[in-house]
């Protein structure tokens, strides 16, 4: 039988040709999540079981994170020197390459800045643990990795404790998503769940107020009574929140806009809603 051609490493989340087997899991700020009834927590699988990280901010933040476990690192000589100048260290010996070699793996359009790393995903925290924190984001089948990456970046800026989403129908924390997050992945863990409605119910059982962002919400988010601990739920562009998700939320709220355009890209809506939520909770 002829050898099968390798998967295209330029596809977001695809395993690069230099992939190796897992090197073990790191510790986590939350204990690893164990679903009721035992067994392993949900996880990204297949080509998505590895986090492909590239670009200066993405890789530098990962190198500064003691919980991140690396498998392989490719770096240009200039990038390796810059890492040393910044006082960072490579946990595994990097393979020094020319920029064109990373271009071949990622594609010429990827802005890698001479750094490409393959690492384990960070462990998924438990729902009951994140329910004790003040602010959480929940993503209901938002599939575009650029949007999710931008949401992660905003979540890190607004000190969100975790992002709850399903392993299926969601982009893995790798490739384009990691690049768009610009290092935010190291500060906002993904809490992976099997069933989003059940996860929301569990958050509510543990005292968290669950607010869904919906254009048909009865009041503007800024006028909605909010308190910590709070979970903000965002749906996919176009489709919005799924019916069961809407029904499980404690309350629905909209974002009123004064301009001619009355809707926002989901990543912009996430940033705006997080800013509103922080201001409202601060006043209470």
Domain of 90, CATH number, reads 3.30.1330.30
The string of pLDDT tens digits covering residues 151-203 is 999 999 999 999 999 988 889 899 999 999 999 999 999 999 999 999 999 99
Residue-level pLDDT at 76 = 97
What's the whole-number average pLDDT of the chain?
Answer: 85
Q: Is there a domain that residue 209 lies in? A: yes
Provide the b/e sequence for 24-40 (b: ≥16 CB within 10 Å). eebebebeebebeeeee
Q: Report the DSSP beta bridge partners of residue 18.
A: none
User: What does the block give as tokens for 155?
Assistant: 């979540």
Could you list the residue range(s) of the whole structural domain that residue 233 is in? 127-283
Residue-level pLDDT at 226 = 93
Residue-level pLDDT at 34 = 43
The string of pLDDT tens digits covering residues 49-61 is 889 999 999 999 9
Residue-level pLDDT at 62 = 97
Reported as type and span, the H/E element at residue 150 is helix 145-157
Higher pLDDT pick, 191 / 20: 191
- What is the model's pTM? 0.83
CATH number for the domain harbouring residue 158: 3.40.1280.10
Q: Is there a domain that residue 162 lies in? A: yes
Residue-level pLDDT at 282 = 79
Higher pLDDT pick, 29 / 114: 114
Residue-level pLDDT at 21 = 34
Cα separation, 76 vs 111, in Å, equals 13
**DSSP character at residue 82:** H
Has residue 40 got a pLDDT over 90?
Answer: no
Residue-level pLDDT at 7 = 43
Question: Percentage of the chain with pLDDT > 90?
Answer: 70
Average pLDDT over residues 133-159: 96
Residue-level pLDDT at 224 = 92
* Number of domains the chain contains: 2
Has residue 12 got a pLDDT over 90?
Answer: no
Considering the domain architecture, whether residues 165 and 250 belong to the same structural domain is answered as: yes
Has residue 209 got a pLDDT over 60?
Answer: yes
Has residue 10 got a pLDDT over 50?
Answer: no
Distances in Å between the Cα of 123 and the Cα atoms of 28, 43, 171 are: 6, 9, 16
User: What does the block give as tokens for 201?
Assistant: 């119910």
Query: Which of 92, 119, 146 finishes a domain?
Result: 119
Q: Lowest-confidence range among 22-26, 47-51, 105-109?
A: 22-26
Q: Is there a domain that residue 198 lies in? A: yes
Provide the b/e sequence for 184-193 (b: ≥16 CB within 10 Å). bbbbbbbbbb
């Amino acid at each position: 039988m002829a050898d099968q051609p390798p998967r295209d490493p330029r596809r977001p989340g695809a395993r690069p040709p230099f992939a190796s087997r897992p090197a073990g899991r790191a510790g986590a700020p939350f204990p690893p999540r164990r679903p009721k009834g035992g067994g392993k927590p949900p996880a990204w699988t297949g080509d998505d079981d590895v986090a492909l990280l590239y670009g200066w901010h993405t890789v530098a933040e990962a190198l500064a994170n003691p919980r991140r476990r690396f498998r392989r690192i490719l770096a240009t000589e200039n990038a390796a020197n810059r890492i040393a100048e910044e006082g960072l260290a490579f946990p595994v010996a990097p393979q020094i390459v020319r920029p064109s070699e990373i271009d071949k793996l990622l594609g010429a359009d990827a802005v890698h800045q001479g750094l490409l790393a393959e690492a384990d995903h960070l462990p998924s925290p438990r729902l009951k643990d994140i329910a004790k924190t003040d602010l959480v984001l929940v993503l209901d089948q938002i599939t575009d990795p650029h949007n999710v990456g931008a949401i992660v970046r905003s979540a890190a800026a607004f000190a969100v404790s975790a992002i709850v989403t399903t392993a299926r129908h969601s982009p893995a924390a790798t490739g384009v998503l990691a690049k768009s997050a610009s290092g935010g992945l190291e500060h906002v863990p993904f809490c992976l769940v099997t069933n989003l409605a059940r996860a929301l119910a569990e958050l509510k059982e543990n005292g968290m107020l669950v607010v869904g962002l919906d254009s048909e919400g009865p009041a503007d988010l800024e006028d909605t009574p909010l308190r910590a601990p709070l979970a903000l739920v965002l749906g996919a562009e176009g489709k919005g929140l799924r019916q069961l998700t809407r029904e499980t939320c404690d309350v629905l709220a909209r974002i009123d806009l004064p301009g001619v355009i009355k809707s926002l890209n989901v990543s912009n809506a996430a940033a705006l809603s997080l800013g509103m939520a922080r201001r409202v909770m601060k006043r209470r």
